[in-house]
Amino acid sequence: MLMGLKDKQTTKNKNFIQSFIHAMQGIFSLVTTERNFRKHLLFGMLAVVLGLILNLNLGQWLWIILAIFSVISSEALNTIVESVVDLIVGPKYDDLAKKAKDVAAGGVLLSAAFAFIIGVIIFVPELVALFQ
Ligand SMILES: Nc1ncnc2c1ncn2[C@@H]1O[C@H](COP(=O)(O)OP(=O)(O)OP(=O)(O)O)[C@@H](O)[C@H]1O
């Protein structure tokens, strides 16, 4: 049976379909609850639209795809860390909780910087050539 968003399952997934549905629920939760994830997804979609307009070649697309998945994967990791830390520590201040959350956010910043550099390297020369 397909498990809905409100299922209370705590045992292992029985098959691939069940694993896949829970993974999709994870992505749905990222999209609906994480503002930064939505922002990065939007930037990724804009890069894809710009890439289509500029008719990028295969090599350029591979870098853009790598950059997009790097950012959204680190956003997913950041959300995992935030949730697990909140689960363990709750609302009280804790030095290790701060370190874990700050490092997770730093990871997102690093992958966003990587994506920005890739975007500049690929899109700037293409845009310059377009307007010459
Ligand atoms: N329990 C805690 N103990 C110590 N510091 C904390 C704790 N919870 C949050 N912080 C601090 O507050 C910051 C923001 O917290 P949190 O990551 O939960 O919020 P957020 O708005 O979801 O962050 P992000 O913008 O990275 O998504 C953390 O990076 C950390 O410095």
CB of residue 82 inside a 6 A radius of ligand 1: yes
| pLDDT number for residue 78 | 98
User: Going along the chain, which residue ranges are E strands?
Assistant: none
Helix 58-89 vs helix 35-54: crossing angle, to nearest 10: 180
| pLDDT number for residue 6 | 59
Domain boundaries, the chain: 16-130
Q: What is the CA radius of gyration of the chain?
A: 19
Fold of the 16-130 domain: Helix Hairpins (1.10.287)
| pLDDT number for residue 13 | 82
CB of residue 25 inside a 6 A radius of ligand 1: no
CA 98 to centroid of ligand 1, rounded, Å: 7
| pLDDT number for residue 97 | 98
- C-alpha 46/C-alpha 52 separation (Å) is 10
Residue nearest to atom 20 of ligand 1 (CA): 82
Low-confidence ranges of the chain (pLDDT < 50): 1-3
Best of 99, 101, 103, 111 for a ligand 1 pocket test (most atoms within 8 Å of beta carbon): 101
Closest CA to 71 of 129, 118, 17, 132: 118
Closest CA to 86 of 43, 7, 49, 33: 33
pTM: 0.89
The verdict on whether residue 126 carries a ligand-binding annotation is no
Which member of 75, 78, 97, 119 is catalytic?
75
The verdict on whether residue 102 carries a ligand-binding annotation is yes
The verdict on whether residue 86 carries a ligand-binding annotation is no
| pLDDT number for residue 4 | 52
Is residue 75 among the annotated active site residues?
yes
